[in-house]
């Protein structure tokens, strides 16, 4: 016996405090499918019926179109790759896939040492949309001892508190802050469709 179609409505809008973030409000009583589709595209839940897409590479369009972006020796395509790698590092940290043990300021930017769930460790150099993996290690012990040798007294425990602070604030669960006001367009997704409108790019 065929089941009746259930439409899951999603209202997208700009976050009121962080203009680079996008909010998604799920208005149906069974938002599971819409939540899953949005999660595939980088949205993170901040409440039972709200999700937020907060990226750290929001300056990419500006830098890609300016002759004076901070990595002036790289062309536009390479800049996009750098920002995409930085976003992946950020997502890995936010999801708990990459745990940061220590950080230090080298006089110019923030460096850090962390370990992925699979056991390999890395040294990171830079902040936000300019952060990259500087060195790879096969064990946390080697990565940490090398980091201590390089940075000595400048070392502090855990991740740097200011790194990606704006994105972290946006992703705070809804019960810890007021619900954002939704403005913008509305779209409907059919729960029997593998992809909703606007989510197939």
pLDDT of amino acid 8: 62
pLDDT of amino acid 185: 43
Mean pLDDT of the residues in the chain? 75
**CA nearest neighbour of 11 among 39, 51, 54:** 51
Choice between 132 and 77, residue whose per-residue pLDDT is larger: 132
Q: Which residues contact 17 (CB under 8 A, 6 or more apart)?
A: 169, 170, 180
Residue 6 above 60 pLDDT? no
Hunting for tokens 């460096």 — which residue is that? 111
pLDDT of amino acid 2: 47
Strand runs (DSSP E) across the chain, as ranges? 7-14, 22-26, 44-45, 50-53, 98-105, 110-116, 121-125, 132-137, 155-157, 186-190
Give per-residue pLDDT as tens, 16-54.
777 677 888 888 767 787 888 888 878 888 888 888 887
DSSP 28-56: SS--HHHHHHHHHTT-EESSSSEEEE--S
The average pLDDT across 158-171 equals: 65
Give per-residue pLDDT as tens, 116-157.
999 999 999 998 888 999 999 999 999 999 999 999 999 999
Residue 183 above 70 pLDDT? no
Q: Are strands 186-190 and 22-26 parallel, antiparallel or unpaired?
A: unpaired
Choice between 95 and 180, residue whose per-residue pLDDT is larger: 95
Q: Give the N- to C-terminal CA distance of the chain in Å, as an integer.
A: 33
pLDDT of amino acid 188: 40
- The pTM score is 0.56
Among 46-50, 53-57, 88-92, name the one with the lowest average pLDDT: 53-57
């Amino acid at each position: 016996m065929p089941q009746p179609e259930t439409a899951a409505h999603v209202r997208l809008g700009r976050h009121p405090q962080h203009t680079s973030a996008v909010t998604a409000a799920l208005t149906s009583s069974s938002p599971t499918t819409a939540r899953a589709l949005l999660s595939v595209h980088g949205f993170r839940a901040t409440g039972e019926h709200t999700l937020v897409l907060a990226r750290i590479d929001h300056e990419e369009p500006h830098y890609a179109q300016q002759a004076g972006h901070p990595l002036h020796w790289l062309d536009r395509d390479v800049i996009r790759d750098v920002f995409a790698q930085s976003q992946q590092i950020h997502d890995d940290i936010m999801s708990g896939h990459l745990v940061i043990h220590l950080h230090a300021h080298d006089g110019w930017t923030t460096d850090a040492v962390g370990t992925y769930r699979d056991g390999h460790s890395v040294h990171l150099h830079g902040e936000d949309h300019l952060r990259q993996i500087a060195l790879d290690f096969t064990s946390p012990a080697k990565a940490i001892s090398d980091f201590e040798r390089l940075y000595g007294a400048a070392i502090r425990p855990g991740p740097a508190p200011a790194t990606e602070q704006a994105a972290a604030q946006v992703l705070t669960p809804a019960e810890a802050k007021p619900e954002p006001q939704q403005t913008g367009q509305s779209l409907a997704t059919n729960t029997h469709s593998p992809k909703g409108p606007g989510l197939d790019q």
